């Protein structure tokens, strides 16, 4: 495996990346994001989530205490970063989704950086990646970690 690019370190460096591409706006929408919109973006992105179980998806969204969205100028949802955080020490970015037509514009990077901006300099951000984007996160300057453990869900 080739060596990863340099890490982006420091809160200020991540804050500087919390700028959406032209024509997009980022917003916090926890408690306000329509579950149907969330499901549509997750489905379009291809992220493996239970999109055919609307009640479970709505519960996932309702249980998140940080939801950052990316919308185009017409208000269409094109990206979501759904997290669980204490805003003081740790943040688990559980879902990062961008619709295919907006891939490559920098929305994913902006959603991650905005999440980090909101949680503040004293909180780390943890993201567990699906297999396909494993090589993408280091290109953003994120650090790989190996010290994790898992108890899988039943379904």
Task: Write the CATH number for 132.
Answer: 3.40.630.30
For the whole model, what pTM was predicted?
0.93
pLDDT at 151: 80
In a domain, 28, yes or no: yes
Cβ–Cβ < 8 Å for 142, 8 = yes
- The pLDDT score that the predictor gives to residue 2 is 66
In a domain, 75, yes or no: yes
On whether residue 4 sits in a domain, the answer given is: no
pLDDT of 154 higher than 90: no
Count of residues for the chain? 155
Residue 129 has pLDDT above 90, yes or no: no
Give alpha helix (H) positions in 46-91.
54-63
Rounded Cα distance, 140 and 118, in Å: 18
Q: What is the pLDDT of residues 59-92, one digit of tens each?
A: 999 999 999 999 999 999 999 999 999 999 999 9
pLDDT at 1 over 60: no
C-alpha to C-alpha distance for 123 and 81, rounded to whole angstroms: 16
C-alpha–C-alpha distance, residues 137 and 80, integer Å: 16
Six-digit token string for 3:
């060596």
Assess if residue 153 is contained within a domain.
no
Per the structure, the complete domain to which residue 132 belongs is given by 11-140
| Radius of gyration, CA atoms only, the chain | 15
Query: Which of the pair, 153 or 114, is modelled with greater confidence?
Result: 114
* Average pLDDT value over all residues in the chain: 93
pLDDT number for residue 94: 96
What tokens does 147 get? 């010290």
Return the structure tokens found at 24: 């997009």
pLDDT reported for residue 113: 96
- Number of structural domains in the chain: 1
Name the band, by pLDDT with cuts 50, 70 and 90, for residue 38. Answer: very high
């Amino acid at each position: 495996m080739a060596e990863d690019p340099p890490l982006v370190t420091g809160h200020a460096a991540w804050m500087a990346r919390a700028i959406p591409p032209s024509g997009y706006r980022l917003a916090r929408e926890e408690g306000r994001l329509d579950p149907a919109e969330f499901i549509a973006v997750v489905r379009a992105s291809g992220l493996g989530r239970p999109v055919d179980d609307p009640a479970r998806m709505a519960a996932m969204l309702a249980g998140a205490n940080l939801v950052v969205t990316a919308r185009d100028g017409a208000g269409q949802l094109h990206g979501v970063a759904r997290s669980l955080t204490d805003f003081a020490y740790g943040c688990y970015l559980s879902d990062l989704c961008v619709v295919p037509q907006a891939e490559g514009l920098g929305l994913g990077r902006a959603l991650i950086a905005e999440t980090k901006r909101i949680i503040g300099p004293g909180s780390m951000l943890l993201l567990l990646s699906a297999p396909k984007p494993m090589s993408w996160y280091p290109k953003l300057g994120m650090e790989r970690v190996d010290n994790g453990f898992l108890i899988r869900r039943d379904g």
